[in-house]
Structure 1
Amino acid sequence: MTEFNHSLAVSASGLKAQAARLRHLSENIANADTPGYRRKTIPFQTAFTPRDGVNRVTTGQVKLDPTKLEQIFDPSHPLADETGHFDGSNVNLVVEIADAREAQRSYEANLKMFDQAREMSSGLMDLLRR
Structure 2
Amino acid sequence: MSDLIQSLAISSSGMQAQGQRLRHLSENVANADTPGYRRKTISFEPEQRFGRDTGRVEAGPVQLSQRDLTQIFAPDHPLADASGYYAGSNVDLIVEIADSREAQRSYEANLRMFDQARQMSASLLDLLKR
TM-score (norm 2): 0.96
Letter matched to residue 99 of structure 2: D
- Equivalent-residue separation in structure 2 for 1:29 and 1:53 (angstroms): 34
CA distance in 1, matches of 2:106, 2:3: 22
Whether 1:5 and 2:14 are equivalent positions in the alignment is no
**1:97-112 counterparts in 2 under 5 A?**
97-112=97-112
Change (3 A) 1:99 1:53: closer
Q: What is the rounded CA distance, in whole Å, between the counterparts of 2:49 and 2:124 in structure 1?
A: 26
CA distance in 2, matches of 1:125, 1:5: 13
Q: What is the CA distance between 1:120 and its match in structure 2?
A: 0.1
Equivalent residues, number? 129
1:37 aligns with 2:53: no
What is the match of residue 129 of structure 1?
A: 129
Task: Name the counterpart of 2:115.
Answer: 115
8 Å Cα contact 1:74/1:85 also seen in 2:
yes
Q: Deviations over 1:36-56 (max 9, x none)?
A: 000000000001234x97221
Q: Percent identity?
A: 63
Residue aligned with 1:47, SS: strand
Aligned residue type for 1:117: A
**DSSP 3-state at the match of 2:69:** coil
Question: Which stretches of structure 1, 4 residues or more, deviate above 6 A after TM superposition?
Answer: none
How large is the RMSD of aligned CA atoms in angstroms?
A: 1.2
Matches within 5 A, 1:17-28: 17-28=17-28
Conservation of the 8 A alpha-carbon contact between 1:49 and 1:55: no
Contact conserved, 2:46 with 2:53, CA < 8 A, in 1?
no
**C-alpha separation between the residues in 1 aligned to 2:53 and 2:125?**
23
Task: Tell me, yes or no, if the aligned pair for 1:49 and 1:56 is still in contact at 8 Å.
Answer: no
Aligned positions of 1:54-65 closer than 5 A: 54-65=54-65
TM-score, with normalisation over the residues of structure 1?
A: 0.96
Q: For residue 69 of structure 2, what is the amino acid of its counterpart?
A: L
Corresponding residue SS for 2:115? helix
Structure 2: 5+ residue stretches without partners: none
